[in-house]
Amino acid sequence: MFSSLRCSSSTSHFRKRFVCWLSATASRSLRSRVQKMPRPGRIWKPCVPPWPGKGALAYLEGRGVTRQTMGRFQLGYSPAGGDVLLEWLRKKGHTPQTLEDCGLIKRSEDGRRQYDAFRGRIMFPITDARGRVIAFGGRAMGEAQPKYLNSPETRLYNKSRNLFGLSFSREGIKSSDLAILVEGYMDFLIPYQFGINNIVASLGTSLTAQQVKLLGRYTREVVVCYDPDSAGIAATQRSLDLFLDEDFRVKILLLPEGQDPDAFVRSVGVEEYRNRLRQVVSYLDFVLETAMHSQGKLDTPRSKVQVMNQVLPYLAKLPNAVERSEYVSRFASRLNIEDRLLLAEVRKAAQQRNRRLPDEPVAVVTSMKRGERRLLQLLLANPSLQAQILPLCSSQDFHGLATERIFAAIQERFRKSAVTTFEDLHRQFAGEAEQALLAQMQMEEVPEDHSPDTAESALNAIRKIRLDSYKQEIQSKIAEASQRSDDEMLARLMEQRIQVDRDLISLSRK
């Protein structure tokens, strides 16, 4: 069992509130997925006897974390004993195998002994977008390694599909239409504590496409604020393609060397952090500055070509000719070359890009599929479902559907905290093809089952159609690449097909 962060007797109210968080939150989360778990109220009570957490409390307070923040995010401390949690939860009727499946317990290499996965660590609960605890992160006390230890991936937790703090920040992200992306727990906690309520953490520098799509449910604008060290800068650059592929507007906030968001806010103050957020740079300027810095002096044609090769792919992606011309002019001036030379290279890069792998194919349809019709009927017949289902949706889910613009309108209104009705859509699409689709749906019988599970099943049916279509396109291109003996293209396509198969398997389990 994981204890409260024990403090002096004068703060007993805080101690009583700050107890047994792991047992309670784990049980609350597992109960929703595993029917054998007990009700959390039965085990949300003070620890007797309490385990010492004074060192953890001192550490967090030394890092500027208030007790209010500790309580809100249910921070805790895991005792150093090898089986404290295991024995305590055994007494509560939980089976060791269930706890092992959920990543709370590990088994020794010889398979004979089970022990607590987290020992002697400050604990951070990790929640999904709905606020349900699905995993934990533990920071070592002292010099123990690894410094941070996360729950293993389980049926509840997939690191690549979650963002730390999203359940707390999603409303702030929607209302500001902007997300700030940072690396770690403390980079999130300290700015959030001081009022930055549109911030999330990727828990490391390995941002994934799934995390970007998750963030895209709430906004299409992001400020990347990773640590200003070499690893953070490299991770920032890797993130650009992921965000641009999802049509994000991307800006970069680089803090002074040696200061991550946590340290910066504590040392300089949150107002200066807000001021820096108003002075962010475009991703293109970031790419240019990073490339120029890596080359040092630009006093040879080769050094200029090296920089140019790094910025060309991003300039080639710009869809707007005016914007592209503006950046070409600025970058040519910085590189001390003629505009026309850089523009010619940009056009060449754009042509090469168009010959590479296409974007995800879109199946153009002229009539509604069963899944999209059912999902729309449910969302519009029972508007309360919108708050439960729309956060699960990505704009990619509806590409190529006859109702794509209708779903886009509903999602846009949802980002502005507005519920959508049939009447709203009729007004918006008056005289357009979508109005006929809406009228057709209103004449049909609405499904009797308005549950979130039914709506989510309809959404998954839409996703399956899109993935099946995409897989067929990939198969055709694999055949073409094989005939041309294009091994590089074939390898890329095979990777895409494997990912599609994984996504289809994941859908089939839901």
> What is the 3-state secondary structure of 74-89?
CCEEECCCCCHHHHHH
Do 380 and 344 belong to one domain? no
Do 312 and 412 belong to one domain? no
Residue 326 sits in which domain range?
Answer: 298-355
Do 184 and 58 belong to one domain? no
Do 274 and 320 belong to one domain? no
288 inside domain: no
Do 19 and 151 belong to one domain? yes
How far are the Cα atoms of 58, 103, 106 from residue 99, in angstroms, in the given order?
30, 6, 9
Q: Is the pLDDT of residue 196 over 90?
A: yes
CA distance 382 to 384: 5
For 393-424, write each residue's pLDDT tens digit: 887 788 878 888 899 899 888 888 888 988 88
Instruction: Report pLDDT for 205.
Output: 76
Do 448 and 481 belong to one domain? yes
Total number of domains constituting the chain: 4
The per-residue DSSP string of 291-331 comes to: HHHHH----SHHHHHHHHHHHHHHHHH---HHHHHHHHHHH
Do 138 and 113 belong to one domain? yes
Which of 157, 176, 206 corresponds to the end of one domain?
A: 157
Average pLDDT over every residue of 300-314? 88
Do 175 and 106 belong to one domain? no
Do 171 and 131 belong to one domain? no
Average pLDDT over every residue of 427-433? 77
Return the DSSP state at 384: G
Do 184 and 127 belong to one domain? no
Query: Would you place residue 183 in the very low, low, confident or very high pLDDT band (cuts 50, 70, 90)?
Result: very high
Q: Is the pLDDT of residue 347 over 60?
A: yes
Mean pLDDT over all residues of the chain? 80
260 inside domain: yes
For 227-237, write each residue's pLDDT tens digit: 998 888 989 99
361 inside domain: no
Domain of residue 201, CATH code: 3.40.1360.10
Domain of residue 70, CATH code: 3.90.980.10
Instruction: Report pLDDT for 321.
Output: 77
343 inside domain: yes
- Percentage of residues in the chain with pLDDT exceeding 70? 85
Do 262 and 172 belong to one domain? yes
For 476-504, write each residue's pLDDT tens digit: 888 887 877 777 788 888 888 888 888 88
Instruction: Report pLDDT for 493.
Output: 85
Average pLDDT over every residue of 94-102? 78
Query: Would you place residue 444 in the very low, low, confident or very high pLDDT band (cuts 50, 70, 90)?
Result: low
Query: Would you place residue 361 in the very low, low, confident or very high pLDDT band (cuts 50, 70, 90)?
Result: very low
For 372-395, write each residue's pLDDT tens digit: 888 988 898 888 889 988 988 887
Do 173 and 58 belong to one domain? no
